[in-house]
Structure 1
Amino acid sequence: MSAFDGASFFSEEAINDPHSLYEQMRNLAPVCQIGETRAFVACSHSAVTELVKRHQDFSANLRGMLVCGDDGAPTIFDLKGAGTASDVIATADEPDHAIHRRLMLPPLKAGRIVALEQDIKRFAQQQVDDFLHAGGDACSALCEALPAFVVTRLLGLGDDAQEAVQRWAMMGGEFLAGRFESDRLQLILQETAAQNTYLTHHFEKVHAAPASDRGDSLTATLAQGVDEQLISKEQAVGILTILFGAAGESTASLIGSAILRLAKDQPLQKRLRAEPNLISAFIEEILRLEPPFKFHYRSVNADTTLGGTPLRAGDLVLACWAAANRDPNSWPEPHRLLLDRPQREKHFGFGYGIHFCIGAPLARMEARVLLATLLRSTDNFTLADRSAFRYASSIFVRRLEKLTLSYQIAQRC
């Protein structure tokens, strides 16, 4: 059985550049053990594909998570035993998962996304204009603000919720970040409680209204699901909570990675300004190279093997999208960004299989609109200085929490 130094998974080097570590793991084996824990990383394209297809053998239920112990070594925190596990949508198994997914489809159908696009374009232009004239952190002003705006629209929240939604959405992945500093954990727990109280009140208000007066928000759809006894009220609120991270943090991560790449690559930036029709191809390569979530957890239901590695019931397996997306056996020149890459949408940037991200079309549209607006509104932009960007200290999410730019506003603006 192949294992690697588990402490390296939490190192600052791996946070800033996880791909070197992933390459080392792929060279060891398709499935590697993390130190002496019963947690494993599926890091080859074939192993990840097999893992997510075998959903009867590998549960999406979030039963445990990998954390860094006080001694710097990895350990598994038992979520089910602690009573903190919540199995809705992304962490639900069949048949519940299919019910949750079916309820979410109407608010995310193509027609609704098209209807949202004009509002998104107006908001993106206002945010870009304000940012270019005031400066500051692009993460807060652009990457995080736009998906938070979209979440408020999807859930039928008022404009006054924008600030809280943006804050809560960016905290979605912090619980799975892998470190439990007491002060930060206390803040996360406080904010999580405040978020739950807010969403419960919002849901109950919508649910209390006659069905004909609820509107067409995702909250209204979930209220109908409760009426039809397809889900419980607690599950409905859980789905709303998951959406904050799934629709908020993941899109913020995508936009941030895209802006950072362009800030470092002036020729590519110039080409996309001249050929904005290539922005969609650029987004697909960013999703492949820097998927918003590096991995998702799976739990082993019964003793089995994966990629030649024996696994026991109760083990954790990380479906490492970020490692599989750069597997040279599936991607020629895997570390290069190629706008003409064949089958460019076959990556794992939005997951794979029955848990493929249901909001992928919306996230792609948000990123395309924001990038087109930023490129059109500037003549160029670069990193402000050597400390212009910083990644969130997380083994789970690949998100910038700081990004400062130097730029020239387009003369026509």
Structure 2
Amino acid sequence: MTTADVFSAEALQDPYPLFERLRGAGDVHYLADQQMYVVLGFDAIRTVLADPQTYSSNLVAVLSAVSGSATVSVAQAGAGVDVLATADPPAHTAQRALVMSRFSPRAVAETTELIDAAVAPAVTGLVASGGGDWMAAVAHRVPVRVIGELIGLPRADHARLTAWSDAAIDLVSGVASPERAGKAALSVLEFAQYLGERLDQARPGADTGVLGSVAAAVTSGTLTRDQGAMLLVQLVTAGAESTTSLLGTAVRLLARDEHLQATLRAEPDRIAALVEEAVRVESPFRGHFRVTTAPTRLAGIKLESGARLMLMWGASNRDPRIFEDPERVDLDRAQPKLHHSFGRGIHFCLGAHLARKETTQAVRALLEATTTIALSGPEPAYVPSLIVRRLAHLNLALTPA
């Protein structure tokens, strides 16, 4: 396996033929020029996720098409702190406990009105126009509005949240030039500074959003100010990005399959099954990183202490040893949530329930407002990135109901 394989234009648009070919030779591959192991197999990834003590989540490197070393320090990527997705116990445990109730299934169930208020005008406007770019009209707008409201950030700042979130994703995309990565790093630091100022202005105990909870933790000394700011950076970025990606994938699957549309119009309660298959077939985040804390073996491969790994969710979710006919959308899979798209174990994605809920509501609204949904215009294309699987555009032709 070579860096050129991973970052080829073909693999960035459609990595699955490469994954299938490589998986035939083994579940773990070494990129010598990147000094990083790429993990593709479902069982191998499940082994890593079950052992956070051996496989640390601290961010020490990302794959890069530009730099041979691939090293990115946390200080370059943010405010110099590991939080939530890149933190290990016991720090991770305390940080997750601080905000997890805000994203529980019960809490997400109470966001229906908030989500519908964001979805309705976006979908209505697109349908009234007879179609257009779903990504620009809905997928990019709704998630930022929802996560901004849940955290407690001013609606006037939502446009800036989108730009900052995109910069954070670009920083670790692996395809940014050194100049572009430098600008992205500055944007992330600006984002963290903005959120730090919001924390300073928050009233612990009075502000009821996530911002209030984090501000209270900073005031009590449970978190430092930098940790609080970077925790919020992650919540906004991951919360917006995962849902934007999922909204694109789900509607693309819908638009190219008239039978699927008919099935879901007749049985709208099965929309959630489509959303779960969309999560599996195109993992919103293509993978995450780990580093070993001691020598170990994985899928028969010896790993030294300090070995850097990228876990490829997207490859494991199409492992034919686990998923029958993995490329097919099957609304009746026996274990629909077996995939790794939202992680597993202590690092299971906090925003998973919210992403599912937003996508389900948006697909429901689109189906109710139309009689036909079809692809139109340019062929859908993905944003070049080794981290996210997000459509750059998705042009639809819509017939109003």
**TM-score, scaled relative to structure 2:** 0.95
SS in 1 for 2:319: coil
1:201 maps to 197
Show structure 2 runs of 5+ residues with no match: none
Which of the residues 384, 393, 397 maps onto 1:393?
384
Which of the residues 203, 206, 212 maps onto 1:213?
206
* CA positional deviation for 1:285: 0.8
Aligned residue-pair number? 399
Q: 2:400 aligned with 1:409, yes or no?
A: yes
Do the aligned partners of residues 278 and 82 (structure 1) sit closer, same or farther apart at CA in structure 2, a change above 3 Å counting?
closer
1:360 maps to 352
Do the aligned partners of residues 269 and 170 (structure 1) sit closer, same or farther apart at CA in structure 2, a change above 3 Å counting?
farther
Q: 2:316 aligned with 1:320, yes or no?
A: no
Distance 1:96 1:77 in 2: 23
1:290 maps to 282
2:87 maps to 92
Give, as a single letter, the amino acid of the residue that structure 2 aligns with 1:51.
V
Give, as a single letter, the amino acid of the residue that structure 2 aligns with 1:179.
V
2:37 maps to 40
Distance 1:238 1:164 in 2: 16
1:146 maps to 142
Which of the residues 171, 174, 177 maps onto 1:175?
171
Which of the residues 116, 120, 123 maps onto 1:121?
116
* CA positional deviation for 1:81: 8.0
* CA positional deviation for 1:87: 0.7
On the 8 A contact 2:167/2:185 being kept in 1, the answer is no
Do the aligned partners of residues 80 and 196 (structure 1) sit closer, same or farther apart at CA in structure 2, a change above 3 Å counting?
closer
On the 8 A contact 1:124/1:370 being kept in 2, the answer is yes
On the 8 A contact 2:77/2:188 being kept in 1, the answer is no
On the 8 A contact 2:74/2:82 being kept in 1, the answer is no
* CA positional deviation for 1:80: 5.1
* CA positional deviation for 1:220: 0.7
Which structure 2 residues correspond to residues 69-80 of structure 1 after superposition, within 5 A? 69=66, 75-79=69-73
* CA positional deviation for 1:178: 0.5
On the 8 A contact 1:170/1:248 being kept in 2, the answer is no
2:26 maps to 29
Give, as a single letter, the amino acid of the residue that structure 2 aligns with 1:226.
V
Distance 2:178 2:291 in 1: 27
Give, as a single letter, the amino acid of the residue that structure 1 aligns with 2:84.
I
Which of the residues 229, 242, 262 maps onto 1:237?
229
Distance 1:35 1:336 in 2: 34
Distance 1:220 1:81 in 2: 26
On the 8 A contact 1:144/1:170 being kept in 2, the answer is no
Distance 1:342 1:393 in 2: 33
Q: 2:334 aligned with 1:342, yes or no?
A: yes
**Structure 1, residues 139-197: CA drift from partner, whole Å, max 9, x if none?**
12111211101111111112212222233233332111112325533542343233223
**TM-score, scaled relative to structure 1:** 0.92
Distance 1:86 1:261 in 2: 38
1:6 maps to 3
Do the aligned partners of residues 171 and 138 (structure 1) sit closer, same or farther apart at CA in structure 2, a change above 3 Å counting?
farther
SS in 2 for 1:165: helix
Distance 1:190 1:129 in 2: 37
* CA positional deviation for 1:102: 0.1
1:18 maps to 15
Give, as a single letter, the amino acid of the residue that structure 1 aligns with 2:382.
Y
Distance 1:335 1:185 in 2: 34
Distance 2:340 2:379 in 1: 28
Give, as a single letter, the amino acid of the residue that structure 1 aligns with 2:177.
E
* CA positional deviation for 1:316: 1.0
SS in 2 for 1:65: coil
**Structure 1, residues 265-323: CA drift from partner, whole Å, max 9, x if none?**
12112211121111011111111111101110001112221111111222211111111
Do the aligned partners of residues 136 and 169 (structure 1) sit closer, same or farther apart at CA in structure 2, a change above 3 Å counting?
farther
Distance 1:401 1:169 in 2: 15
